[in-house]
Amino acid sequence: MEKKEQLYEGKAKKVYATDDPELLIVDYKDDATAFNGLKKGTIAGKGVINNQMSNRLMAKLEKSGVPTHFVRELSERETLVKKVSIVPLEVIIRNIAAGSFSKRYGVPEGVVFEQPTIEFSYKNDELGDPLLNSYHALALKLATPAEIETIKDYSFRVNDFLKAFWKECGVTLVDFKLEFGRLSDGTIVLADEISPDTSRLWDAKTGEKLDKDRFRRDMGGVEEAYAEIMSRLEAHL
């Protein structure tokens, strides 16, 4: 499959056309951003890890019955995916309080919920990805009621799957962000990525952070944490 023109360059990936109008190539970069692009940096080797981790996890999710955009890994940083029209919602599932949840509601990080929570934000960089509920999403015509139901159902299924998988690896899944898209026939599939950039992953024994919070919070050991989480995953494939 040949890379044709670059369609888009985002904060973490580049997206290319291919000779098949239904397929795209994504190319993962080492660039890292946080706080809506205000903090910028590089995490050496991140692109390779995020590409491979996202692909391994999506292949497993596909087998467990959640449709995804994943087609085939082409190289260390490049993957062939089904082209979708992205539903402009960031779907966040949380099992444990952290980050913006802790800040917004005044709950210490680490408080474990009895049930997972779901929230949406409007994927719109100019507006700073504002939080919204499903009624707002309908009013803004971001998705149909049936699409929102499907997205919620898949998101909780992804959580059940990932929570159990990471537990086997000695890792606690705190929270994560998903994006969904529509194939040309309207089918909703999981798209974008699942990686330490988009998830909070804590060592189950020590609570050590093995994700992008190390970069966001200038904790050091960022590359090492990405390598550690990848080796945990590889040991449990």
Q: Residues in the site for ligand UDP, rule: CB under 6 A?
A: 90, 92, 98-101, 129, 175-177, 198-200, 212
- As a whole number of angstroms, the distance between CA 53 and CA 74 comes to 14
Contact call for residue 66 and ligand ADP (CB under 6 A) = no
For the stretch 183-203, what's the b/e string if a residue is b when 16 or more beta carbons lie within 10 angstroms of its beta carbon?
Answer: beeeebbbbbbbbbbbbbbbb
- Please say whether the beta carbons of 89 and 177 come within 8 A: no
List the single partner that 199 binds among ligand UDP, ligand ADP, none, CB under 5 to 8 Å by kind: ligand UDP
Stretch that binds ligand ADP, among 12-20, 102-110, 114-122, 203-211 (CB under 6 A): 12-20
Instruction: Determine what percent of the chain falls in helix, strand and coil, rounding each to the nearest 5.
Output: 30, 35, 35
Span 113-172, contacts to ligand ADP by CB under 6 A: none
- As a whole number of angstroms, the distance between CA 222 and CA 68 comes to 28
Which is nearer to ligand ADP, 13 or 46 (by Cβ)? Answer: 13
List the single partner that 113 binds among ligand UDP, ligand ADP, none, CB under 5 to 8 Å by kind: none
- As a whole number of angstroms, the distance between CA 155 and CA 158 comes to 5
Which is nearer to ligand ADP, 83 or 212 (by Cβ)? Answer: 83
Contact call for residue 77 and ligand ADP (CB under 6 A) = no
Q: Residue 79 is inside which H or E element, if any?
A: strand 78-82
Span 22-61, contacts to ligand ADP by CB under 6 A: 24
The neighbouring-strand residues paired with 179 are 191
Looking at this protein, which amino acid is placed at residue 160?
D
Which is nearer to ligand ADP, 92 or 97 (by Cβ)? Answer: 92
Stretch that binds ligand ADP, among 11-19, 38-46, 133-141, 156-164 (CB under 6 A): 11-19
Q: Given the rule CB under 6 A, which residues bind ligand ADP? A: 8, 10-13, 15, 24, 69, 81-84, 86, 179, 181, 191-192
